């Protein structure tokens, strides 16, 4: 039986695609992933670096009841309320800080989140192309060096990736009769994920449009259904953010949806190659303005620069996308500020950087070829677009704002599923495979 037939049989039987009989297998792979990440954390003893310094400081202040103020950005700053960064990750860490009296438990949250991506990739791969593809996808995530290194970081991506998988898995596996229920489940969880990274709000309308446009009806009716479900799903996503918007209206005098750094990211994306960096004071807005007004001012300046030279902005958009997806470096580079200086630290960074980049090239190539094959599978076309929705939405967002290779981390389970499809097509079951049991 071909892998496509096996996958079709899995669609017809929920028990089969969930792989009850194979559950010990995915647990073993997940255990390997957990052990790799735990050993890395224990061996390094890393400390917060880059944006992680801000998140760890915010968690400590929240744990001590100081609130979410501008002191998370500068300890000497005023204790005024802020919404510059979304509060979700810091709020979760603050619970661990209350328990441990510091950040000792923080890396273990990262270890758990990164390990949880393994069964997610396993399920996505099985749903797309059968048991072997699920096994390959799980191993891709388990052995992904960037995921191992991220476990020793204070970045938001592991938690965001776990929430994204919680949102997407029921939608990807839902039968036709349950597609609306699964869509609104996904929309709700994507709204919760926006407390960690607001990029999830871009995925929601795309999912709604895909569900509405998949129904077998004339194209005008499909377009209308796609637009209606895109709006409804977006409203469901915004609902969990209501308490945060009310708080922002009360303390910032405007119902900020998620954060007030959108204007800065949009403006930074109009300079150089569109990556994150420091902003020249001559290009920034005047000091002393309220936080929300600064955000609006930066947005207006960015739009002016885009309108002045749209060709350059489009070229930067391409560079931002290639920077976001083209390599896997930031997790290893962040170790530079997380480890004590010296030969040992330099060696660890170089080894981690080499492993991350080399592995990423292979994974990206397999996922790209797998995506081409999946797009040609008529009976898997809707599933293919559902898997691609987070990828397309995230890359589109970073085309507009700023690029950065660490932002692709939440996409790895979806790319691993496509890589699993590619592998089973290149190496059929009768061929020898290093993943074959």
Ordered DSSP codes for 285-321:
PPTT--HHHHHHHHHHHHHHHHHH-HHHHHHHHHHHH
Integer Cα distance of 199 and 151 in angstroms: 21
Give me the phi and psi of 69, to 5 degrees please: -120, 175
**How high is the pLDDT of residue 8?**
41
Chain centroid, CA 47 distance in Å: 22
**How high is the pLDDT of residue 49?**
86
Q: What contacts 24+ positions apart, CB below 8 Å, involve 59-68? A: 59/90, 59/91, 59/93, 59/94, 59/96, 59/97, 59/103, 59/106, 60/94, 60/97, 60/102, 60/103, 62/90, 62/91, 62/94, 62/97, 63/94, 63/95, 63/97, 63/98
**How high is the pLDDT of residue 429?**
74
**How high is the pLDDT of residue 12?**
34
Give me the phi and psi of 81, to 5 degrees please: -60, 145
- Residue-by-residue pLDDT tens, the chain, 437 positions: 444 444 444 333 444 444 444 568 899 999 999 999 999 999 988 888 888 999 999 999 999 999 999 999 998 888 899 999 999 999 999 999 999 988 899 999 999 999 999 999 999 999 999 999 999 999 999 999 999 999 999 999 999 999 999 999 988 877 777 788 889 999 999 999 999 999 999 999 999 998 888 777 777 888 898 899 999 999 999 999 999 999 999 999 999 999 999 999 999 999 999 988 888 889 999 988 999 999 999 999 999 999 999 999 999 999 999 999 999 999 999 888 777 766 567 888 899 999 999 999 999 999 999 999 988 876 677 888 889 999 999 999 999 999 999 999 999 999 999 999 999 999 987 554 444 44
DSSP annotation of 417: H
**How high is the pLDDT of residue 80?**
92
**How high is the pLDDT of residue 20?**
44
Integer Cα distance of 16 and 1 in angstroms: 15
Domain boundaries, the chain: 3-184+310-426
Chain centroid, CA 338 distance in Å: 22
Residue 59's nearest CA partner among 107, 113, 105, 103 is: 103
Integer Cα distance of 201 and 162 in angstroms: 16
**How high is the pLDDT of residue 22?**
52
């Amino acid at each position: 039986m071909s892998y496509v037939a096996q996958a079709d049989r899995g669609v017809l039987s929920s028990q089969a695609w969930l792989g009850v009989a194979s559950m010990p297998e995915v647990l073993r792979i997940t255990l390997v992933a957990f052990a790799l990440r735990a050993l890395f954390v224990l061996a390094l003893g890393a400390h917060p670096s880059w944006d992680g310094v801000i998140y760890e400081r915010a968690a400590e202040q929240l744990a001590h009841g100081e609130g979410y103020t501008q002191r998370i950005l500068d300890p000497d700053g005023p204790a005024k309320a802020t919404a510059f960064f979304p509060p979700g990750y810091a709020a979760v860490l603050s619970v661990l800080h209350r328990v441990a009296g510091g950040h000792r438990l923080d890396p273990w949250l990262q270890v758990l989140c990164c390990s949880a991506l393994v069964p997610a990739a396993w399920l996505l791969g099985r749903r797309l192309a059968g048991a072997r593809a699920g096994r390959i996808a799980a191993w891709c995530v388990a052995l992904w060096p960037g995921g191992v290194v991220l476990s020793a970081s204070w970045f938001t991506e592991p938690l965001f990736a776990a929430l994204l998988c919680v949102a997407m898995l029921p939608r990807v596996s839902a039968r036709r009769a349950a597609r609306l229920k699964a869509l609104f489940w996904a929309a709700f969880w994507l709204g919760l994920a926006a407390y960690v990274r607001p990029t999830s709000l871009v995925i929601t309308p795309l999912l709604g449009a895909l569900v509405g446009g998949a129904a077998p009806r004339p194209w005008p009716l499909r377009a209308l259904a796609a637009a209606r479900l895109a709006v409804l799903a977006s409203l469901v996503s915004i609902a969990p953010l209501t308490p945060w918007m009310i708080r922002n209206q009360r303390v910032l005098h405007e119902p900020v949806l998620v954060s007030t750094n959108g204007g800065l990211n949009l403006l930074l994306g109009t300079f150089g190659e569109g990556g994150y960096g420091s902003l020249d004071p001559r290009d920034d807005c005047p000091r002393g303005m309220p936080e929300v007004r600064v955000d609006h001012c930066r947005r207006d300046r960015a739009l002016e620069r885009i309108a002045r030279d749209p060709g350059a902005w489009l070229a930067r958009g391409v560079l931002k996308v290639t920077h976001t997806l083209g390599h896997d470096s930031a997790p290893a580079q962040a170790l530079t500020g997380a480890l004590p200086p010296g030969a040992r630290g330099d060696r660890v960074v170089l080894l981690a950087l080499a492993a991350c980049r080399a592995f990423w090239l292979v994974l990206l190539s397999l996922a790209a070829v797998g995506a081409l094959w999946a797009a040609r599978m008529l009976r898997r076309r809707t599933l293919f677009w559902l898997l691609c929705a987070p990828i397309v939405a995230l890359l589109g967002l970073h085309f507009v704002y700023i690029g950065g290779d660490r932002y692709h981390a939440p996409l790895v389970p979806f790319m691993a599923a496509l890589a699993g499809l590619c592998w089973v097509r290149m190496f059929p079951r009768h061929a020898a495979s290093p993943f074959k049991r």
